[in-house]
A and B are shown apart, each in its own frame.
Chain A
Amino acid sequence: MALRPPALRAGHLRLLPVAVALVVAAAGLLGAQAQAAEEDSDPLGYVIDPAALDDPATVADGAELFRVGCVSCHGPGGVGSPRGPGLTGAGAASAHFYLTTGRMPHTGASDEQAIRKPPAHSPEEIEALVAYVASLGEGQAIPHVDLAEGNLQEGGDLFRGECAACHSATGAGGALSFGQNAPSLDEATPVQVYEAMLVGPGQMPVFSPTAFTEEELNSIVLYVETLQNLGDPGGFSLGRVGPIPEGFVAVVVGTGGLMLVVFLIGRRRTGEAEPASQPVRPADTVGAGR
């Protein structure tokens, strides 16, 4: 009676290139992780020149772009519509945040959460649109981020106390009710993090300068930047979302791999000597009672 699957001797050799490929891929990924962040002319992520927003010509350009791409939801002159909020008083920080993170223009249903994607507009267009929205009424200006003013340790304490409940302590993001989520902060630039705290996009509360000092806001931004650039000293990060992927790796890769190992070493090979048979008691003969 054949309890064992057919012999898989060739499988040994077939596994070798797979193992080699895995090792090479692992080395490559580790190397990529270790690569230093490349030089950037705009490390804080301004994209535009905030000082140029007062130019009437830029505002006029923005009004033109607004009539093309934004008016169907935000209404003529930004007064709002059933499909989108009014923008009078939204301010430059809000427009800058939504346009540079690609959350506007919104592509999903109007009650869906806007998600981060590559910006739809060029930096010049974003500059014009931000200038136009800023001209609609008083609002938060684009903040001046000064990482040197921040304190990393204080930023960590504030982040774990105020932000981790939704964005998770690692900044990987987390679920909110009914399909909403607090997004991952992996790609957020310092200016965007600062702006998000000022304007409170989506479900996020506003952390205004009356709640936090500028120094504290800068500290949080510094901590988020550090989280992004910290690297993972333990190896592959597994997404930094805690024990769920860790358990998956332990069960599927670790235990699954070990089961494959005992399958390979545990099955008897063809051509081997006949198996030994031992009666339970020396007095018994093998197969007695047949």
Chain B
Amino acid sequence: MTSEEAVAKATPLSRRTARWLDSRLGAAGFARKALDKVFPDHWSFLLGELALWSFVILIATGVYLTFFFDASVEEIIYNGSYVPLQGVEMSRAYASALDISFDVRAGMVMRQVHHWAANVYLATTVVHLMRIFFTGAFRRPRELNWLIGVGMLIFSIVNGFVGYSLLDDQLSGTGLRIAHNIALSIPVGGTWLASLFFGGDFPGPDLIERLYVIHILLLPAVIIALLGLHLALVARQRHTQFSGPGRTERNVVGERVWPTFAAKGTAAFFLTAAVLCALGGLAQINPIWLYGPFRPAEVSAASQPDWYMGWLDGALRLWPGWEIRLFGFELPTPFYPSVLLPGITFGLLALWPFLEARITKDRDEHHLLDRPRDRPLRTAFGVSTLAFYTVLFFGGASDVLAVTFQTSVNALFQAFRIALLVLPPLAGFVTYRLCQELARRDRPGASTEAPRVAPAASDDGADNRRQIEPEDEPELDPASTAGVPRG
């Protein structure tokens, strides 16, 4: 035994592996820097992480499901162990989804965890988006990351819809039929588009296979790429922080990644997994065996989309039956609620950072977050928008609500139409006044704070930093007219 071998033997395997990697990749420097990074400590900064971990669970369960799912519309006679459908003709896709539910080991729980994870993933994404919006974290220099986030949201909503449309049960077929009609409602090119995407008339023979490729390959790849960019930009541009003692535009105060923040992230992962597995194991979701195979001539009462599409369904239900002919082209009713409204929704969402910068004429870099109360107009607008889409969601649930509460679905439609016009401005007004009141209460304590520093637009060194005069930037000084937005 040489002395070298003796040294190697005395060194733990983990350390030897680390050295082996470092000598080849030079990874130690990067790792030390990454682990030393300081992450600001506010619980709401972990909301995006919930979406991330839900997405990880989605991928893990989704991979398991692909082993058993058969995306084919070939008609077969079901012969699995779910007795009420034995001998019934159905597509291979639906039959394999039944097999996953009843004959594949752990298939049912995997399917259910996957579906719950999708619903929770999108909900945590929206909560994360709300945090970014209400604290103004989208402002320069983070507009790009906002756009990436909005892109992920859109792709995720589409992938969620495509995912539950794959199973070829009665409910998913009903959703696809509506999607087909929405595509048809687009003026001029709609018919071509629908025919191109659906492969002919509905339901075409290629549709399920196309949706499958989109669901497991195309959109996940796009979302993962955007996710990587999203996280890389957070690391590159550093995370925003709330203002407080010792926190400035030029530093980050919080916990180092190792060990504190890493521990919190790990805990968040395991707890996310625990909640999703508990839901998947205890609560039944999308019982496709009850819905039966898709037959284009049939429809069931209480056919709703998953929650993140619910506002679109509600808009379709609440919109009045207007048909307009313009320049010889028909503008059919579904066009406004299901093409125009989402277009405006996501367009406005994507452009928000630029619109706000234009309105407030605030084009400075911001690394300190706003408290929602300090920007009452933005906060009121956000709450008002949430109220609008919440009413639309309940509009989509109107038939279920009517049965549950023993009331008339027609009366509910009228009530929701009125609420759609009245509630958003009302919610906005109440929010605005609440923000003003909260900001007013903050004043005495807040006035002792040190003046804060904002870097100049060029941001290339200490010389360009300037003290901000209160009259110059009123929203940065809670002692002055806090609550009055700039511009």
Contact = CB atoms under 8 A, between A and B. Distances in A.
A51 interface: no
A224 to B, nearest CB: 11
Given A234-B108, A254-B120, A255-B123, A177 B255 contact: no
Contacts of B74: none
Interface in B225-269: 238, 242-246, 248, 250-256, 264, 267-268
A148 to B, nearest CB: 15
Contact of B284 (A167, A175, A232, A278): A232
Interface stretch (B149-157, B193-201, B271-279, B426-434): B271-279
B216 interface: no
Interface stretch (B8-16, B301-309, B354-362): B301-309
A173 interface: yes
Contacts of B411: 179
Interface string B1-45: 000000000000000000000000000000000001110011111
A3 interface: yes
A153 B88 contact: yes
A170 B42 CA distance: 45
Interface in B267-317: 267-268, 271-272, 275-276, 279, 281-287, 290-292, 295, 297-308, 310
B105 to A, nearest CB: 14
Interface in B361-383: 367, 371
Given A169-B300, A179-B408, A234-B112, A266 B254 contact: no
A234 to B, nearest CB: 3
Interface stretch (B60-68, B79-87, B324-332, B345-353): B79-87
Interface stretch (B46-54, B176-184, B333-341, B415-423): B46-54
A277 B246 contact: yes
Contacts of B46: 262, 265-266
B365 to A, nearest CB: 11
A279 interface: yes
Contact of A161 (B242, B295, B409): B295
Given A1-B445, A249-B279, A265-B46, A242 B303 contact: yes
5 contacts: A174-B302, A235-B112, A262-B47, A267-B41, A276-B256
Interface of A: 1, 3-4, 26, 30, 152-153, 156-157, 160-161, 164-170, 172-179, 181-182, 223, 226-227, 230, 232-238, 240-244, 246-251, 253-255, 257-259, 261-263, 265-268, 275-280, 283-284, 286-290
Across the A-B interface, the 8 shortest Cβ-Cβ residue pairs: A174-B301, A247-B307, A266-B43, A234-B284, A250-B119, A179-B408, A278-B38, A175-B399
